Amino acid sequence: MTDADRIADARARIDAARRVVVLTGAGISTESGIPDFRGPRGVWTKNPAAEKQSTIQHYLADPEVRKAAWRSRLDSPAWTAEPNAGHRALVTLERTGKLHALVTQNIDELHQRAGSSADKVVEVHGSMRRVMCWDCGRRAPMDEALARVRAGESDPPCPACGGIQKSDTISFGQALVADVIDRALRVASEGDLLLAVGTTLQVQPVCAMVPIAARAGAAIVILNDQPTAMDALADVVLRAQIGAALSEICGTADARSAH
């Protein structure tokens, strides 16, 4: 089978599907300039201190770690990142009425910024565009806290209770949000096609969506630029550039006719 055959196979399966569940990982956002955290050029590979900032025990225990974390948040390339062709293709898929849910491991909100409905998006690792207070649970836009850092506060405390604030994302050592994970695993069993994009499918429990979907009889399509842990379960494995390939398999009619 050639690459073109595999693309055509994936496109035919998506055309035939009625309830598509999508799972996305870092690979869909790298074309927007957001680095993959664990890849060979990833943030943690280059800067082990960044991994410390992402570990909840260090973050809570050490004000210096928090100050460094706020400084690096100010500089994040994610604030100016724009959605790419891959994000837009999934908006097109939603407009066909067959998108059941869009589960993402990403924290950049680029799906919503591209136009995906917030009620379809399940953010299993939270959002970097919000802060949360570790003590009282208050959530607020990240912009509010970053403005205080720019104005000179090195570790801005919660305005409600004075507690420690952090990005509303799941740090290492921090429990996942049970309701959110339950929803992700439930929707996996409800579709007739599961499309996994830009993830190596190694992070539990989210990667269990693939065997859950397969057991429920769904077709499995995996699109990633490198092998994944679940390729053996897939009906179609596409090893291709993500934005272009997604545009072809579920993007606009224009993108399809150009093929």
Q: Which residues are catalytic?
A: 125
Stretch touching Zn ion by CB under 5 A, among 67-75, 135-143, 193-201, 211-219:
135-143
Which one of residues 19, 38, 138, 256 is an interface residue with Zn ion (CB under 5 A)?
Answer: 138
Q: Is 133 in the site for Zn ion (CB under 5 A)?
A: yes
**Contact flags string 140-159 toward Zn ion, x per CB under 5 A:** ------------------x-
Q: Which is nearer to Zn ion, 144 or 182 (CB)?
A: 144
Q: Is 136 in the site for Zn ion (CB under 5 A)?
A: yes
Q: What does the alpha-carbon distance between residue 160 and residue 132 come to, in Å, rounded to a whole number?
A: 11
CB of 132 to Zn ion, least distance (A): 9
Q: Is 139 in the site for Zn ion (CB under 5 A)?
A: no
H helical segments located in the chain: 3-16, 43-46, 48-53, 56-61, 63-74, 85-95, 110-114, 142-150, 178-188, 209-215, 242-250, 253-257
Q: What are the contacts of 139-146 at 24+ separation with CB within 8 A?
A: 139/168, 142/73, 142/167, 142/168, 145/70, 146/70, 146/73, 146/74
CA-based nearest residue to 21, from 119, 120, 102: 102
CB of 63 to Zn ion, least distance (A): 17
Stretch touching Zn ion by CB under 5 A, among 11-19, 70-78, 103-111, 128-136:
128-136
Q: Is 160 in the site for Zn ion (CB under 5 A)?
A: yes
Residues that bind Zn ion (CB under 5 A): 133, 135-136, 138, 158, 160-161, 163
